Structure 1
Amino acid sequence: MDKLTLRKYEGGPFDVWGLQALAIAYNDEANKFSALPFCERHVIECADRMTEAGTSAIYMLYDGFTAVGGIWVSYSHAIHTTALMGYENMNYVLPDYRGQSLGKYLAKLGCEWLESKGCKVIQFGVNSGIDSGTDNPYKSLGFAPIGRNFVKLVR
């Protein structure tokens, strides 16, 4: 992690190519676990709109000029309430960079950003091989497993 650079994108332009490269890699891996296709073009269009609107943040880790990991988080009003709900759109680390707690580090940054925006509930989904076992990084950040999702209540 020492040689990696962290960049945060909020409220404006972001690294489209870096996020797209991660989305393509994520897509290849996620399709092994999910019947739902993941469209990287859709990711870019949504991230662009939501980041510009200020309801999203993207944290990217770079090794030189190569994006090796990233998390994209957003928030909106929960249905039938005025409470803000935060959620993770994508948290992905390239296989060669795993085992360094980078995904957990990115998740922590995403949670901190969502909490700073006033989110009272944060939901992270799981589309890959992470299970609800005790080694799950989301549990150590205060999340509880609910089906294939992990939910955290913010006090």
Structure 2
Amino acid sequence: MSHAVPQTKAARQALIRTLIDVSAVESQTQLAVLLEERGIHATQATLSRDLDEIGAVKVRNADGRLTYATQAILESMEDTGARLNRLCAELLHSAAGSANLTVLRTPAGAAQFLAMAIDTHDDPDVLGTVAGDDTILVIAADPLGGERLAQKFLDRASGL
């Protein structure tokens, strides 16, 4: 089955974004099948890298199932405050503060996604973030605001 999709990384990633945005893609295996149906073969390692590069993350959909979502679809679904609250509830494992620093812990691979949501929210209490794989360093605007900011993220996670 031949489609007019060129076999380039950019074209493959664009198709992956589209498939994620229009389908409830629950696994890399399911994504591979959807791509194969469109004439594109990709290994699990390639799909994993592509999903990471396009910023796809697993989120719980309305049916309670974990599906992939992209930043674009998440942003279109909710405002930045609501999105940050939801992501804190889903991704935040712990928060601790000291001086003007807050350290947030997430599942492996989720830190950069949560940090992007924090940076996008434009909170005057936050100067910025630095994200690794499962840890985010949040710099508070207040020289002694680290602990208060940690509590603020914990409150967001618990729906307060």
Report the TM-score when normalising by structure 2: 0.27
Which structure has the larger Rg over C-alpha atoms?
2
Higher helix share: 2
Structure with bigger strand share is 1
